[in-house]
Amino acid sequence: MRSYDEKRDFVRVAVDSPISYGTPENNGEDADEDVAVETTLDQKALLKNLSGRGLMFVAENEVAKESLIDIKVVPSNDLTQPLHARVKVVRVMKQRHGEGYEVGAVIQHMLDD
């Protein structure tokens, strides 16, 4: 039983870590399939929080809502495994006090390195 008033299925963990992301080459009919597709992770962002189901990051450029993107988080230590996943963008909001966009996404598939 939870000892706090949390309405989410998973607790959000505050993170401050750089991430890379990009659009899968097959971002069409089969894009939600966990298939081996080469994705160029050419965009940089800052991961702000992470949960068992999703994440939120701040990107310099606007990301299309409902799009599928691949993300990769490489921790600064060797003890923690990298996170490489395909996510679906569910929320995009211009930051009030900043130049970037807050991007909320739900994890669709974990990807192999």
Interior CA angle at 102 toward 91 and 20, to 5°? Answer: 105
- Is 2.40.10.220 the CATH number for 13-24+39-110? yes
Higher pLDDT, 35 or 95: 95
State the number of CA atoms in the 13 A half-sphere of 45 facing the CB: 29
Q: What is the mean pLDDT of the segment spanning 92-106? A: 94
pLDDT band at 9; cut points 50, 70, 90: low
Pair of tokens at residue 73: 């988080």
Whether 81 shows a pLDDT value over 60: the answer reads yes
Interior CA angle at 107 toward 21 and 73, to 5°? Answer: 40
For the stretch 58-73, pLDDT in tens is: 999 999 999 999 999 9
* 50 CB neighbour count, 10 Å cutoff: 20
The residue extents of the domains of the chain are 13-24+39-110
pLDDT value for 98: 84
For the stretch 34-60, pLDDT in tens is: 555 678 899 999 999 999 899 999 999
* This prediction's pTM: 0.79
SS3 for 92? strand
Strand partners, 86: 70, 109
